[in-house]
Amino acid sequence: MSSVPAEVQQRAAALRAELAHHNYLYYVLDAPEIPDAEYDRLFRELQELEQTYPVLRTADSPTQRVGGAVLERFAPVHHAVPMLSIRTETDSGPDGARNFDARIRRELGLGPDAPPVEYAAELKFDGLAINLRYERGVLVQAATRGDGETGEDVTQNVRTVGAVPLRLRGIEAAVLEVRGEIYMRRDAFERLNERQRAAGEKTFVNPRNAAAGSIRQLDPAVAARRPLSFFAYGLGAVDGWELPPTHSALLDALQAAGLPVCDERAVVQGADGLVAFHQRIAARRDALPFDIDGVVYKVNSLALQQRLGFVTREPKWAVAHKYPAQEQLTVVRAIDIQVGRTGKLTPVAKLEPVFVGGVTVTNATLHNEDEVRRKDVRVGDTVIVRRAGDVIPEVVGVVLDRRPRDAGAPFDLYAQLHGECPECGSAIAREEGAADWHCTGGLYCPAQRKNAILHFAGRRAMDIEGLGEKLVEQLVDGGLVHDVADLYALEVGQIAALERMGDKSAQNLIDAIAQSRATTLARFLFALGIPEVGEATAAALAAHFGTLEALQQAATEYAAALALTDDETAAARARRLRGQALQQVPDVGPEVAERIATFFSEPHNLAVIARLRAAGVHWPEAKPERGAQPLAGKTFVLTGTLASMSRDQAKERLQALGAKVAGSVSKKTDYVVAGSEAGSKLAKAGELGVPVLDEAALLKLLETS
């Protein structure tokens, strides 16, 4: 240390203390005081000091959470004090609690007139037990329970868990072993599974398996990416620390030392107190952010705990009182396919009704085709169904031992639907690399109707003012509008008859619909709601092709080119597709081109487009501008207020000339257009030396380009 300047040593110590403090505020008190970005800044400052002076890298430095090598296996750890299990009351009614209290009173020789016993009641977390060994306040080892005598050394992985403090606050005891549960929050579990699914990797059955699998990762870098949490609930070996008199005071002390302790705990009196706690938590179970499988009761006085002692491997002073399970077995009767509001096709298991997580479940999502195949779910299979919290019920796996001889064939979504949307009969499609099948009849499909109409009417699409969600609901549910073309046949009387609609607002809507007939090709293309075709792509398509006919022609050619000829390699086909007109449009890659081609090959969509045009929807026909895009490759940022047009109009005009219009200024920005009252974007342009155009210069540019 002598080679490190004193002020650097002090700064590093101050940073470590400050980071530890903010960790405590975040994980233990659940009340962070600084934004993540500030935490990251402090963290990086410490990292830099440690890089210059490696001796500053202490074991309790927050920079040292990740970094161990990949292991071949975990080293065994002999527990100084065995890690016991607890007896479980399987009766999930009030008797579970009463039986325990009666046993305790008998053991303690308390007569019926003796006062009630005091208990600490807490949650039974559904994760895995862990022993954290602190020596002189510093975390030196973390071990799993194993068989209770010998566990595994998982220190590297546990160090990556942000909620586990690397140093205790204000406890310098020679040895303090803290026991608790490593678990995964439900939201973190859902996100992790989504990530796994997207990466084509195996998903986890439940948060407990995900937590256990993560802690038993041999590569600490993988464990570090798993979102784990921790709650302390007890002690192991202790040397040089005076125990508090009660379990509840012990938990308070651990919390003060920087260990996360769950707030859902109580000190209660006698059997009635236990029953009330059990019921209160039962009502809150779904709202908790993590899974529990019951509650735990402990005699609060540590002196009484000692008097009660143990039987075989279980303490007599504690018991787990269960709740009904959130996972059950049942049989798959059928696999249906549902069409979502965006046209996404989701396989859903139809189940023998089963009571799980507090409700009778008859449907459970299977997410997508790959997921069904990965889990190999078939009609007739016995499956594990999970419903926890308000997460939708899910089939998590198949019990293969119970597969009947006459089980269904492996799932094949396309074959089952004969290639047609079950709602509207339009073709179904699935792009290369995409997880989901979808219905291509976006303009026509009843499942997608409301979404399609709202999008069509949007401000940046056909801009029909006043046509919002409530009104679309009524128009569709009342059978007045089946698709967007029907909007143009509506009459004032029909609308005035709807809920909360006067004559005046009905007339306004009819006027707004009539006005929307005069539009631009770019807006029209965007309004069609072709998947993956946003505003910018629609503008690029309009500018490139000039007319709808030219675009449709290109889409038809692309659809024909999509077919793989017999002797062609995938690379040759990709090259051929790149040569197609659709892929010449800026920003249109193979996925977007395929979506456009599929959309225009669906006859239902073409029929709606034809009816829209017959209803008078029109736009100025432009000459196709193939290649003639003077602003192609230039990026603009608009800021402030323009006098002669809105920012949206300026954006459309720039895009029509091939320019890209971005939302923020960077080194890649070619021009910033500044109207009056331009703010920080103008300042940023100055900083980066990006040329700035005023309104006059913009108008000139638009005219001459």
Q: Which is nearer to ligand IVH, 228 or 506 (CB)?
A: 228
Cα distance between residue 617 and residue 515, in whole Å: 10
Binding flag, residue 259, ligand IVH (CB under 6 A): no
Which of 151, 236, 315, 531 binds ligand IVH (CB under 6 A)? It is 315
Q: Which is nearer to ligand IVH, 50 or 291 (CB)?
A: 291
Binding flag, residue 230, ligand IVH (CB under 6 A): no
- Name the residue number minimizing CB distance to ligand IVH: 129
Classify 468 as helix, strand or coil. Answer: coil
Looking only at residues 329 through 358 of this chain, which bind ligand IVH when binding is defined by CB under 6 A?
none
Annotated catalytic residue within 124, 651, 660, 681? 124
Binding flag, residue 650, ligand IVH (CB under 6 A): no
Binding flag, residue 232, ligand IVH (CB under 6 A): no
Q: CA of 325: how far to CAs of 185, 236, 384, 466, in Å?
A: 18, 30, 12, 49
Amino acid (1-letter code) at residue 394: E
Binding flag, residue 281, ligand IVH (CB under 6 A): no
Which of 122, 423, 486, 535 binds ligand IVH (CB under 6 A)? It is 122
**Sheet architecture: strand order including 229-239:** 138-144, 128-135, 175-183, 229-239
Binding flag, residue 125, ligand IVH (CB under 6 A): yes
Distance of closest approach, residue 349 Cβ to ligand IVH, in angstroms: 31
Binding flag, residue 124, ligand IVH (CB under 6 A): yes
Binding flag, residue 235, ligand IVH (CB under 6 A): no
**What kind and span of H or E run contains 209?**
helix 207-215
Query: Which class for 439: exposed (0-12), middle (13-18), buried (19 or more C-beta within 10 A)?
Result: buried
Distance of closest approach, residue 166 Cβ to ligand IVH, in angstroms: 22
Cα distance between residue 448 and residue 64, in whole Å: 51
In 648-699, which ranges are E strands?
Answer: 660-662, 671-674, 692-693
Binding flag, residue 181, ligand IVH (CB under 6 A): yes
Q: Which is nearer to ligand IVH, 181 or 486 (CB)?
A: 181
Looking only at residues 62 through 121 of this chain, which bind ligand IVH when binding is defined by CB under 6 A?
84-86
Tokens 């019926």 correspond to: 112
Longest Cα–Cα distance in the chain = 101
Binding flag, residue 607, ligand IVH (CB under 6 A): no
Residue 388's closest CA among 345, 357, 418?
357
Binding flag, residue 642, ligand IVH (CB under 6 A): no
Q: CA of 476: how far to CAs of 440, 448, 471, 473, in Å?
A: 20, 11, 9, 5
Site size with ligand IVH, rule: CB under 6 A: 14
Amino acid (1-letter code) at residue 569: T
Distance of closest approach, residue 578 Cβ to ligand IVH, in angstroms: 57
Q: Which is nearer to ligand IVH, 122 or 177 (CB)?
A: 122
Which of 62, 151, 234, 586 binds ligand IVH (CB under 6 A)? It is 234
- Read off the DSSP letter of residue 566: T
Residue 59's closest CA among 161, 154, 167, 164?
167
Distance of closest approach, residue 238 Cβ to ligand IVH, in angstroms: 14
**What kind and span of H or E run contains 118?**
strand 118-125
Cα distance between residue 503 and residue 486, in whole Å: 20
Distance of closest approach, residue 1 Cβ to ligand IVH, in angstroms: 40
Q: Which is nearer to ligand IVH, 148 or 468 (CB)?
A: 148
The answer to whether 470 is a known catalytic residue is no
Binding flag, residue 318, ligand IVH (CB under 6 A): yes
Cα distance between residue 421 and residue 427, in whole Å: 6
Cα distance between residue 466 and residue 460, in whole Å: 14
Binding flag, residue 159, ligand IVH (CB under 6 A): no
Contact 179, 236 (CB under 8 A): yes
Distance of closest approach, residue 243 Cβ to ligand IVH, in angstroms: 15
Classify 330 as helix, strand or coil. Answer: strand
Distance of closest approach, residue 157 Cβ to ligand IVH, in angstroms: 17
Distance of closest approach, residue 84 Cβ to ligand IVH, in angstroms: 4
Binding flag, residue 260, ligand IVH (CB under 6 A): no
Structure tokens belonging to residue 59: 């074991």
Interface with ligand IVH by CB under 6 A: which residues?
84-86, 122-125, 129, 181, 233-234, 296, 315, 318
Active site residues: 124
